[in-house]
Amino acid sequence: MKLCMIGTGYVGLVSGVCFADLGNEVICVDKDLNKINFLKKGKVPIYEPGLSELVTKNFRNKRLNFSTDLKKSVKESDIIFICVGTPTKKGGSSADLSQIYNVTKEISSSINKFKIIITKSTVPVTTGDEIEKILSRKNSKKKFSVVSNPEFLREGEAIRDFSFPDRVVIGTNDKKAAKIMKNLYSPLISKGASYLQTSRRAAELIKYASNAFLATKITFINEIANLCEKTGINVEDISIGMGLDKRIGSRFLRAGPAYGGSCFPKDTKAIISTADKFKTNLSVVKSVIKSNENRSKILLDRIYRMLKKKLKNKKITFLGVTFKANTDDMRDSSSLKMIPWLSKKGAIIKYFDPTGHKNEFSKLKNVTNKTSIKDAVQNSDLVILHTEWNEFKSINFKNLVKGKKFIIFDMRNLYSSLKIKQQGFKYYSVGK
């Protein structure tokens, strides 16, 4: 079976490379010629641990190839994965599906034999129905089958998540397509992944409902953390105590800054928009979005109070600015709210991120990038541990700075309060 991945963004590239590594012949297509040439040289345009090595290995052994020719690639393949972006519509909250439908129209004129067309991008319920309608205009229904197969990859952990998924979800009622899809995923199923076959619409909704639920879990623990701060309780005890209940589970109960990234903010908005279309009120998800939007304000207010309500000329350092560790992705990172606000109030900001300089802050007054932790924290009034990179987890602050001691605000609860205080620093964390 030959596979074609359309879109070499996060989803398409990681899935394509991993499918090739499982022994399939894969062609990854993108309309961006520069990107394709870059990939052919073994260079990877996104930051994802382990990805570049897998690209080089599979490109060299010819299981993986890259092309800008969508039609030719589709004609030569049996299984087509649509992996283009579904961002939030400009000025709205629903998903912009223009890329999905443009690609569908191109596929439509290249169906020369039976093909399975799969949406791997996160798409709203009924998108598969619409794709089927478009393809039917030019092709007999016997020539294709439209399947939903959502991805659940986390940035920074994508290769492991692909190789050892909790579940593989296949949305189709077509027996022939189901058999082929199960066969494609059999190496992962035999390693223990649960395999779930559902209706196409259900598979589409499983993805949104999962992300909305995870966002709810994080937002819930963030609000409980606020209560813990007022009542002298350690939120980590609450997370452990709750997590031991198997019905709840211990993961995604880490309190911290507002959740961000390319999925949770976009998908929570999009599921509400879908529900509105079907006249259903998702009030829980609505309040999650509101609470998460308010999260940065709460943390900024704590910073304001830590600095005795004087922000002008205060030297504030951010360690990590991406939305989470092991990625260079800035999309919807809470630092994008916090740094501009603090800069506007007259604070002098330095930041260090293991993935380097960020254009997002280039135009802001008094915001500079430093290339080492030491340079970043020197002479600071306040150091904020914003992202949970491993290299921030065991800094010896006492040895690092000789002069003035700063306040540490550990937004990810990486340190023991006692140890930091013993080093002579004022220490604040989240939910304690």
Q: Please identify the residue of the shown chain whose CB is closest to the bound ligand UDX.
A: 263
In whole angstroms, what is the distance from residue 95 CA to residue 193 CA? 29
- What's the closest the beta carbon of residue 232 comes to ligand UDX, in angstroms? 22
* Catalytic (active site) residue 228: no
Q: Which of 9, 261, 320, 431 binds ligand UDX (CB under 6 A)?
A: 261
User: Quick one: tokens of 290?
Assistant: 């509101």
- What's the closest the beta carbon of residue 156 comes to ligand UDX, in angstroms? 7
Nearer to ligand UDX (CB atom), residue 8 or residue 211:
211
In whole angstroms, what is the distance from residue 277 CA to residue 242 CA? 35
**Binding to ligand UDX in span 294-323, by CB under 6 A:** 323
Q: Is 263 in the site for ligand UDX (CB under 6 A)?
A: yes
Nearest to 266, CA basis, from 220, 312, 329, 316: 329
- What's the closest the beta carbon of residue 211 comes to ligand UDX, in angstroms? 6
Nearer to ligand UDX (CB atom), residue 73 or residue 335:
335
Tell the residue number behind the tokens 């794709």, with chain if given. Answer: 131
The neighbouring-strand residues paired with 118 are 81, 147
Q: Is 324 in the site for ligand UDX (CB under 6 A)?
A: yes
Nearer to ligand UDX (CB atom), residue 59 or residue 389:
389
- What's the closest the beta carbon of residue 267 comes to ligand UDX, in angstroms? 7
Q: Is 85 in the site for ligand UDX (CB under 6 A)?
A: no
In whole angstroms, what is the distance from residue 26 CA to residue 66 CA? 9
Local structure of 352: helix, strand or coil: strand
User: Which residues, including other chains, have CB under 8 Å from residue 389's CB and lie 6 or more apart?
Assistant: 319, 320, 325, 326, 354
Nearer to ligand UDX (CB atom), residue 68 or residue 210:
210
Specify whether the CB–CB gap between 18 and 26 falls below 8 A.
no
Q: Is 260 in the site for ligand UDX (CB under 6 A)?
A: yes
Q: Is 352 in the site for ligand UDX (CB under 6 A)?
A: no
* Strands laid side by side in the 426-428 sheet: 367-369, 348-352, 315-319, 382-385, 407-410, 426-428
- What's the closest the beta carbon of residue 123 comes to ligand UDX, in angstroms? 13
User: Quick one: tokens of 25?
Assistant: 């012949």
**Binding to ligand UDX in span 153-182, by CB under 6 A:** 153-155
- What's the closest the beta carbon of residue 355 comes to ligand UDX, in angstroms? 14
Q: Is 253 in the site for ligand UDX (CB under 6 A)?
A: yes
Specify whether the CB–CB gap between 160 and 192 falls below 8 A.
no
Catalytic residue of the set 4, 18, 228, 263: 263
Nearer to ligand UDX (CB atom), residue 215 or residue 383:
215
In whole angstroms, what is the distance from residue 271 CA to residue 289 CA? 11
Local structure of 116: helix, strand or coil: strand
Q: Is 185 in the site for ligand UDX (CB under 6 A)?
A: no
Would you name the residues annotated as active-site residues? 263
Contacts with ligand UDX by CB under 6 A lie at 151-155, 211, 214, 218, 252-254, 256, 259-264, 323-324
